[in-house]
A and B are shown apart, each in its own frame.
Chain A
């Protein structure tokens, strides 16, 4: 009770203060405290004051002075009266408390105020009501399963009030007008109407306003320190102001001055100097340049020629077809980038449409095209041709065809001239060998053999007179007709001696056959060498200069050296690398040349060893011949090359000539004149002058003298063999067209 009263009194006190701030009695008028009240006073220092408002009204401010003015009772009475007056006045406006009556006490006969009895259950305000449930502020769902909802003051269970079903609830809401402003109170488990304040609060929250009704967002500002007459004049502290407050800083000044000086001296630039796009030329070449050489200047474009004129001579104008070809060509292929045009006057000349493009191309050339420095030869091309002595000064050499002998259209593979130079034998592929005079071409004798004639060779001896004929795989020896008797008998004795030399100890596959002397005639050979049948046609003969030995090469590649006097044949090589094309005896030394397909090997026959291998670089050697001095060798090939070897020098050719348009078939040095000739499948014979010097320092002189034409090319074959006449500068050539020609000087 006391507590409740105290709360009320604070409220009242506040209201009093607001309404009558002036009416408040001075501090001294607060003596009316009962004894009990004093006690209570001490306990309720912090505002929980006594129930009686008049006592409590000034309790806050009185507390300190309580002890001093406790005993002044008189004053208390007066105060009481005053207070009651005040109360009466107040009651008009605020009927919070029941009206007090002033009556005359029965006992003291004095006036006393009688208050109506307070009924605790009825008259107390709601706040003083004890909440029946005393569980406090706990989650109420703890009691969800319980029949009670808490406990009251006395520890008795507060039973859950009966709640109607949903229909009742609905009916209640319909009946009760205030149902929508009430809320369910979990503590009491019942609906409680919301107070107007709460409703106002909800409305404010709902409207998004400040929930505090008393809050005024537009309060007028109260200026405390600004404005007229409100400035603070006096400093808060009495300390003296430091000097630095009004003197400029020395250090600052020094720092600033440092920057200023730097700016003045140009160490600091306020802003970068504006890069001026305006470019000012100056004398750039006045100071000496660096020592390194300038780059090569770019080549200048070609200067315009007459054809570029706006009014060129008429002959420069292109014809219709030239114009067409020019237009059809790619711009890169064109020789000129414009077509000559003619305008009658300058005013009619139009703009050149490719001007920009041409300038651009020039610039592309300048930076994209690789530049190459070329030495332009300003020489007469004819000066490149070597200066050689004129052929006229090198006469005699075969110059023209003096006569021709025909072999009825068969290929004349081989031809041979007698050592005295008066007779020629020629053999063709049908087996015909004919003997004729070189001077007039009269045929003296004709032999007919079975099989191809592959090679012919006249024995170089002058005391005897016979020749060898290679027919297929046999070699026959024939004595020409009309031989002088003084020559005939030695010849016969050489070829068919009465006493045969003893046969070799080792059996040879080569048979030497002589028919009986009774059957000797001009028609048949006096001696025949039968080579092994597998060797193939004899394709090449080479007589030793003495005339006793001769070597033969067969198309199968086998090489035999035959000795006539001993009637003996031997194979000098057990095995030869590559197919042998030609063999030769050295004219002076016991050397033997063997030409295989790509190499020429020189063997020493007496020592039986290889002396040298020559590398002509020809794909397929066709023929070779050695110079009568024995120091030089010429080799001809089917790949049109002719190689001249100086045997003293090197195994590589001294000179390689390629002048025939087809394969070289045959070569020969003249035995006495400084001449050699080569024949080719292009149907021509080339005659050279070849002077060889004895001193080792001078190179041999080779001068082309004459191209002899006269043979026809048949089946891709031209002149098959050339042979020199030993006493004259005459040449005998046999061709695939079946003719044999003699070329005289």
Chain B
């Protein structure tokens, strides 16, 4: 006989801990526990059997793994939180007593915790971290657009804004942007970094308000983690790309509202010599004050030289080829200093695909009602040059009168007005396109014709580049083609004479009935003056059709009967799957039906062609794509 088993000592009862038990064990407040869970990424689990995990009680509770909690108990941050609790008591006591001096010194020695070890724990490799920065980016972009108040210190908002700009800067520099989607919630961007798809959502440029049912403390805790994570990730990304992190900020430009342009991307190789000086001084003899002073002088001189050397980002964008060349030189020269970098740089210096240089031949100008933050980022990520009026911020590399401008992104209705010949000349030289054109071009991976996007035109629908689930309704599919084909067939049918149709029906009905009926039908057909051969053919056809129908129904019936041999479990699974299939199916069919209705209700108009037309500019069109790109418009023309 084995040992007696005691209830609640093994299995689920031991593996799971309720939240209140966890808080009790960790001896911290619920708020501290929440903070720990957020920072450490510990979340509740769903036990197989709640009653067993809750020691027989079926009261609602949230469960954590006991091992997770034991792991939390050794967390240095927990210690810091306890220290902070003591600190809060001390400082409130000092303030209550009016002991300003001791309060001040307490405040100076306030306990701080660092999150480095947590980042390392949660993301052991860099890829893990990159995979998980979606939420972090969304939060940082959101908070960079929030107004600061007592709960949101301005430094926080500023830091968020800095991080968001650094990310944009990196994406632009790396040409990592892949997809953009203008949704009603904001703008979705998708970039490919380290082979990971990073998607983030940026709200439109409006002041966001914090609703009352949102607990800002939770968000701030998350933000704390995310800021740390992002700065580590950016550091790695920048240093792998051979750039200095953090990129130095030009305060004057920032004041002028230059946005991303306020940052200077610096090559880390330039600052390398100063670092060498530093290391030498450290490695060698003891540093005297004089040495230090000299070094400082040297450094400042160097940095001065740097700033003097560094071009404006706008001008850098002017010569993308030059930049590429420059990059190449870098990688070839300083192989000694950083051995791991050349490969990465070489990788990035590889001839990029056509799509990332989509806008390279064009120069854009934003009109003042378009959002500069979106389009500057997007266009520069795809190699275009962009300028903007002074009302959108400082730092525009050229003004409106620049003759190199090929496209003006404009988002207002056409207004007839008098214009001078010079203006008219300028207007004819440029294309005035609506903002959606830029985004659709990016998602299509090629430059679309501007005709349908010109100023004042009704825009074609903007579709999600992320696609839908498999088998979902696809608005690009031209179901109307099939429909019209059917209709035409019907029309030809109606052209045929009634007798034929009657015969058809007779043949159909008779097809597999007894030979007597067949004989009767044959006689009737003969009376109607139908050739025997044709009649026979029809009968054959009808029998075939009917046979098909019959076999189909038989199959169905068989399937239904075979279902009774399924086990109960399989039956349930089957029903579930069928349910979801049916749901998707109805969703699709409703959309299709609605589209048909819309088509019928507006017969005179061109059907809303959902697919972006794929006609390309000749100079960009790759030859193999020519044929498939022509197919669709052809069908399109046929419908009209």
Which residues of A are interface residues toward B (Cβ below 8 A)? 272, 274-275, 277, 279, 281-285, 289-290, 292-295, 297-298, 300-301, 303-306, 308-316, 338, 340-341, 343-347, 349-352, 355-360, 362-364, 366-372, 377, 379, 381-382, 384-388, 390-391, 657-659, 702-705, 707
B residues in contact with A282, CB < 8 Å = 232, 235
User: Taking CB as reference atom, which chain A residue is nearest B456?
Assistant: A345
Closest chain B CB from A360 CB (angstroms): 4
| Selected A-B contacts with CB under 8 Å, 10 pairs | A275-B109, A279-B114, A292-B124, A305-B468, A310-B183, A344-B459, A346-B371, A350-B206, A366-B38, A381-B577
Pick from A277, A283, A313, A368 the residue with the most CB of B within 10 Å. A313
Interface string of B437-479 (1 = CB under 8 A from A): 0000000000000000000001101111011100010010000
CB-based contact A384/B120 at 8 Å: no
Identify the closest chain A residue to B120 (Cβ).
A284
B365 CB to nearest chain A CB (Å):
16
C-alpha spacing A369/B42, complex, angstroms: 10
Contacts of A347 in B (CB 8 A): 369-370, 411-412
- List the A side residues contacting B318 at CB < 8 Å: none
Residue B45 at the A interface, CB < 8 A? yes
B124 A386 Cβ-Cβ under 8 A: no
Q: Which of B108-125 contact A (CB under 8 A)?
A: 108-112, 114, 116, 119-125
Q: Is B577 a contact partner of A313 (Cβ separation < 8 A)? A: no
Chain B contacts for A303, CB-based, 8 A: 188, 199, 464, 466-467
Of the candidates A294, A355, A391, the one whose C-beta lies within 8 Å of that of B124 is: A294
- Does B320 lie at the interface of the complex (its beta carbon under 8 Å from any beta carbon of A)? no
The 10 nearest A-B residue pairs measured at CB = A289-B124, A351-B206, A659-B564, A303-B466, A381-B577, A281-B235, A704-B561, A370-B46, A315-B594, A313-B461
- Closest-by-CB residue of B relative to A387 is B562
Whether a CB of chain A sits under 8 angstroms from the CB of B558 is yes
Give complex CA distance A286, B183 in Å.
39
A390 proximity list for chain B (CB < 8 A): 558
| A-B contacts besides A360-B214, A363-B219, A391-B558, 9 pairs, CB < 8 Å | A279-B114, A283-B236, A284-B119, A357-B211, A360-B215, A368-B44, A379-B577, A384-B566, A385-B566
CB-based nearest A residue for B209: A356
Which residue, of B34, B464, B467, has the highest number of chain A Cβ atoms within 10 A? B464
> Please, how many angstroms separate the alpha-carbon atoms of A277 and B159 in the complex?
12
Residues A384 and B124 in contact, CB atoms below 8 Å apart: no
CA distance A676 to B577 in the complex (A): 32
Q: Which of B163-220 contact A (CB under 8 A)?
A: 181-186, 188, 199, 203-204, 206-211, 213-215, 218-219
The answer to whether A370 touches B182, judged by C-beta atoms less than 8 angstroms apart, is no
- Pairwise interchain contact B565-A304, C-beta atoms closer than 8 A: no
Which A residues are in CB contact (< 8 Å) with B564? Answer: 657-659, 704
Q: Which of A292, A345, A350, A391 has the most CB of B within 10 A?
A: A345
Tell me the bound Cα distance from A370 to B135 in angstroms: 18
CA gap between A292 and B610 in the complex, in Å: 49
Name B44's contact: one of A294, A312, A370, A381 (CB within 8 Å).
A370
Which one, B110, B464, B466, B565, contacts A657 given CB within 8 A?
Answer: B565
**How far is B209's CA from A356's CA once the two chains are assembled, in angstroms?**
8
**In this assembly, does B37 line the interface, its C-beta being within 8 Å of a C-beta of chain A?**
yes
Stretch in contact with the other chain, from B126-134, B280-288, B347-355:
B126-134
Q: In the bound complex, do residue A274 and residue B232 qualify as a contact, i.e. CB atoms below 8 Å apart? A: no
- Report B-chain residues with C-beta under 8 Å of the C-beta of A306: 461, 463-464, 468, 475
Q: Which of A309, A310, A343, A388 gathers the greatest number of chain B CB atoms within 10 Å?
A: A310
**B228 part of interface (Cβ distance < 8 Å):** yes
Provide the residues of chain B in CB contact with A284, threshold 8 Å: 116, 119-120, 232, 235-236
Chain B residues in 8 Å Cβ range of A705:
561
Q: Which of B42, B45, B131, B472 contacts A297 (CB 8 A)?
A: B131
Cα–Cα distance between A366 and B313 once the two chains are bound (Å): 38
In the complex, the answer to whether B184 meets A308 with C-beta atoms within 8 Å is: yes
Name the residue on B nearest A277 (C-beta).
B112
Asked whether any CB of chain A lies closer than 8 Å to the CB of B264, the reply is no
B residues contacting A by CB (< 8 A) are: 34, 37-38, 41-46, 62-63, 108-112, 114, 116, 119-126, 128-129, 131-132, 134-135, 138-139, 142, 181-186, 188, 199, 203-204, 206-211, 213-215, 218-219, 222, 228, 231-232, 234-236, 239, 245-246, 369-371, 411-412, 434-436, 458-459, 461-464, 466-468, 472, 475, 558-559, 561-566, 570, 573-574, 577-578, 581, 591-592, 594-595, 598, 608, 610
Contact present for B459 and A294 (CB under 8 Å): no
Known: A347-B370, A370-B43, A391-B558. A311 touches B462 (CB 8 A): yes
How distant is the Cα of A343 from the Cα of B462 in the complex, in angstroms?
A: 11
CB distance from A372 to the nearest CB of B (A): 5
User: Are B211 and A366 closer than 8 Å at their CB atoms?
Assistant: no
| Known A315-B594, A352-B203, A386-B565; contact A309-B184, beta-carbon cutoff 8 A | yes
Judging by beta carbons under 8 Å apart, are B463 and A294 in contact? no
**CA separation between A211 and B411, bound complex, in Å?**
103
Which of A272, A289, A372, A657 has the most chain B CB atoms closer than 10 A to its own CB?
A: A289
B206 partner residues in chain A, CB cutoff 8 A: 350-351
Contact B218 A309 (CB under 8 A): no
Q: State in angstroms the CA–CA spacing of A357 and B63 once bound together.
A: 26
A309 contacts across to B, CB distance below 8 A: 181-184, 461-464
A309-B463, A355-B142, A355-B208 are contacts. A371–B232 as well, Cβ < 8 Å? no
Shortest beta-carbon distance, B76 to chain A, in Å? 15
Given contacts A297-B131, A370-B43, contact A281 B232 (CB under 8 A): yes
For B183, what are the chain A residues with a Cβ–Cβ distance below 8 Å? Answer: 304, 308-310
- CB neighbours (8 Å) of B574 from chain A are 381, 384-385
The residues of A that contact B467 with a CB separation of less than 8 Å are: 303
Docked pose: A312 CA to B45 CA in angstroms: 39
Q: Are B232 and A381 in contact (CB under 8 A)?
A: no
A675 to chain B, nearest CB (A): 15
Q: Which one, A274, A360, A377, A381, contacts B219 given CB within 8 A?
A: A360
Q: Across the interface, do A294 and B128 meet the contact criterion of CB distance under 8 Å? A: yes
Known interface pairs A315-B595, A363-B219. Does A357 touch B213 (Cβ–Cβ under 8 Å)?
A: yes
Please, how many angstroms separate the alpha-carbon atoms of A305 and B473 in the complex? 11
Given A308-B185, A310-B462 in contact, is the A702-B565 Cβ separation under 8 Å? yes
Q: Which residues of A contact B116 (CB under 8 A)?
A: 284
Q: Which residues of A contact B463 (CB under 8 A)?
A: 306, 309, 312-313
If A315-B598, A366-B43, A381-B581 touch, does A360 touch B122 (CB 8 Å cutoff)?
A: no
- Distance A352 CA – B187 CA, assembled complex (angstroms): 11
Most chain-B CB neighbours within 10 Å: which of A295, A314, A346?
A: A346
Q: Do B464 and A305 have beta carbons less than 8 Å apart?
A: yes
B126 and A285 contact, CB distance less than 8 A: yes
- B126 cross-chain contacts in A, Cβ below 8 A: 285
- Which residue of B has the minimal Cβ distance to A704? B561
Q: How far is the CB of B276 from chain A (nearest CB, A)?
A: 18
A285 touches B236 (CB 8 A): yes
Q: B49 to chain A: closest CB distance in Å? A: 14
Complex contact B235–A283 (CB within 8 A) = yes
Contact A295 B122 (CB under 8 A): yes
Within the assembled complex, what's the spacing in Å between the Cα atoms of A352 and B205?
10
For A291, give the chain B residue with the smallest CB separation.
B124
B566–A313 touching, CB < 8 Å? no
CA of A312 to CA of B42, assembled, Å = 39
> Across the interface, which residues of B come within 8 angstroms of A352, CB to CB?
184-186, 203-204
B468 / chain A contacts, CB cutoff of 8 Å = 305-306
Bound-complex Cα distance A320 to B280 (A): 76
Cβ contact within 8 Å between B182 and A310: yes
Q: Which of A311, A372, A377, A657 contacts B461 (CB 8 A)?
A: A311
Contacts known (A289-B120, A313-B463); A281 close to B231, Cβ less than 8 A: yes
A350 CB contacts on chain B under 8 angstroms: 204, 206
Minimum CB–CB distance for B80 against chain A, Å? 11
* Contact in complex: A362, B209 (CB < 8 Å): no
- Is the pair B135, A297 in contact by a Cβ cutoff of 8 Å? no
Which chain A residues border B412 with CB–CB below 8 Å? Answer: 345, 347
CA distance A705 to B564 in the complex (A): 11
